[in-house]
Amino acid sequence: MSGATTAAYLARRAAQQERVRILYRRSLKDTLNWAVHRHLFYQDASDLRKKFEANKHVEDLDTIDKMIAAGEAMYDKWRHPDPYIVPWAPGGSKFTRNPVPPSGIEIVYDYGKEVND
């Protein structure tokens, strides 16, 4: 275990931390998809957090890689078929529903007023 503080080790750890963060974020969103009611979601989210925290102190890089792969496999297994997407985000139902009108076009509110008034 000579590579305690080498750059490659740190780079791998940083990459792993990023993967873990993204995995945690996605699994949290998925938990919200499955558990729609907020009190259920809080319960499930704290359970998820405990699972992540239990493996927090592992030091060996290969074990961490395997655990991340296992976590991602579990995420793929539990993905919701109809996730909640914010309506005006790409993939949502209101996306490009009211597009911006082309420039140079103006609505003149003259209410039938004649020019020679």
Partner 1 sequence: MAEVRGALLKHLRVNTTSLSLLRYPNPTRNGLFTLTVNAIRRSFFDEVMGSFLDKYEVTDRVLCVVKNFQKVDPSKVSPTAHFQKDLGLDSFDTVEAVMALEEEFGFEIPDNEADKISSINYVVEFIASHPQAK
The site for partner 1 (CB under 8 A) is made up of 17-18, 21-22, 24-26, 28-29, 45, 49, 52-53, 85-86, 88-89, 100-101, 106-111, 113, 115
C-beta of 23 vs 65, nearer to partner 1: 23
C-beta of 1 vs 36, nearer to partner 1: 36
SS3 annotation, the chain: CCCCCCHHHHHHHHHHHHHHHHHHHHHHHHHHHHCCCHHHHHHHHHHHHHHHHHCCCCCCHHHHHHHHHHHHHHHHHCCCCCCCCCCCCCCCCCCCCCCCCCCCCCCCCCCCCCCCC
C-beta of 34 vs 88, nearer to partner 1: 88
In the bound complex, what is the minimum distance in angstroms from residue 2's beta carbon to partner 1?
27
In the bound complex, what is the minimum distance in angstroms from residue 92's beta carbon to partner 1?
9
